[in-house]
Every structure is written in structure tokens, then in C-alpha cells.
């Protein structure tokens, strides 16, 4: 089954996503945000380390923003999270100052490859942030991120069998 898990910050999304794959001995945990090698931020490194320690022994971590390639590995996959993938992709490619149309075209092309890879699977859980329920951000970068992540979430949701909304640790299947 392909499941997209969405919700706000610290809502319990990751815990729920992990529980959906808890019956598997080996899972590839895809961390598509900043890698610990790229980002010397000690808080980020500690967060990655804490996540690794909390997972079952047979789970491996793959730090990459190449979602299409990550979705082609054997066995069950958990991608956590599409929001960090998007931010990392925009940073890595220096896209923040490009026109909205250019950025949308690039992100859509990258996402199309990932969605195609996703459609060939039946054992993937993806985590994303829900950013469209709040106020309109003051800054262009905030509006750009919100709009792009909304697009990403919609396209990934179409390739999934289920979408779960997590609020305060409670799960609603949409």
C-alpha cells in the first residue's frame, strides 16, 4: 500500500508513519532533507541521530534528495519528509530567487520522476507537512514554499492508495 501521511509540525506524523511499517524487519528510511554532511548544524545532526536510535535495528537510513532513485530500492520505504525534500531541493539548486513559473516547472519535473517510481511500488509511506491551513505568509519565500508544497502533496496523493491526516497524534483517513 502507498500511504501519504500529512499534518502540522509535531503532530505525530513520523510516529504514525513508522507504525504503518512496524511489521517489517527491514525498511529503508529516506531522509531527503539536508544531509548531516552538508549541514553542520548540531541541532539537525542530533535530530537525525535521535531518529536513527529510535528505529528498529533492521531499518537503514538513506540521506538523498533523489526521490526517484530512493523509491527504486528493494523492500519497504519510508520517506520523511517531502517538506524537507522541497526546501533542500530549492536550496541545493539555488532556486529561491527564480520566477515562480521556473521553480514550479523544475519541481514538477523532479516530482514527476518520483511519482512514476512511486506508482510502481506497493510498500511506501511518505510523510509531508500540511502548510495550507494557516495565514498567507508575509514573505515571498514562505508563499512560494507553501504553494509548491501544496502542489507536491496533491501530486503525491494522487499516486497513493490512502492519505492520513494526523492532528495531535490522532489519525484521520481521508
Active site residues: 51
For 93, residues 6+ apart whose C-beta sits below 8 A from its C-beta are 106
Question: Do strands 162-167 and 170-173 pair parallel, antiparallel, or not at all (unpaired)?
Answer: antiparallel
Question: How many whole angstroms separate alpha carbon 115 and alpha carbon 159?
Answer: 7
Tell me the C-alpha to C-alpha distance, in Å, between residue 116 and each of 91, 106, 121, 148, 160: 24, 16, 9, 19, 11
Instruction: Report phi then psi at 61, rounded to 5.
Output: -105, 135
Count other Cβ atoms within 10 Å, centred on residue 62: 15
* Alpha-carbon separation of residue 158 from 112, 118, 141 (angstroms): 12, 10, 26
Residue 150 phi, psi (nearest 5): -60, -45
Amino acid at each position: 500500500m502507498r500511504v501519504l501521511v500529512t499534518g502540522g509540525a509535531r503532530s505525530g506524523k513520523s510516529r504514525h508513519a513508522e507504525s504503518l511499517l512496524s511489521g517489517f524487519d527491514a525498511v529503508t528510511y529516506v531522509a531527503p532533507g539536508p544531509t548531516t554532511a552538508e549541514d553542520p548544524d548540531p541541532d539537525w545532526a542530533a535530530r537525525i541521530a535521535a531518529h536513527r536510535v529510535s528505529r528498529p535495528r533492521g531499518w537503514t537510513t538513506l540521506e538523498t534528495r533523489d526521490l526517484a532513485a530512493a523509491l527504486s530500492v528493494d523492500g519497504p520505504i519510508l520517506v520523511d519528509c517531502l517538506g524537507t525534500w522541497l526546501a533542500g531541493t530549492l536550496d541545493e539548486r539555488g532556486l529561491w530567487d527564480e520566477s515562480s513559473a521556473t521553480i514550479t516547472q523544475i519541481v514538477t519535473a523532479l516530482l514527476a520522476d518520483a511519482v512514476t517510481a512511486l506508482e510502481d511500488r506497493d510498500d511506501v509511506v511518505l510523510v509531508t507537512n500540511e502548510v495550507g491551513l494557516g495565514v498567507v505568509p508575509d514573505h515571498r519565500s514562505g508563499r512560494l514554499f507553501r504553494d509548491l508544497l501544496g502542489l507536491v502533496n496533491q501530486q503525491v496523493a494522487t499516486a497513493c492508495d490512502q492519505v492520513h491526516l494526523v492532528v495531535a497524534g490522532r489519525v484521520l483517513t481521508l
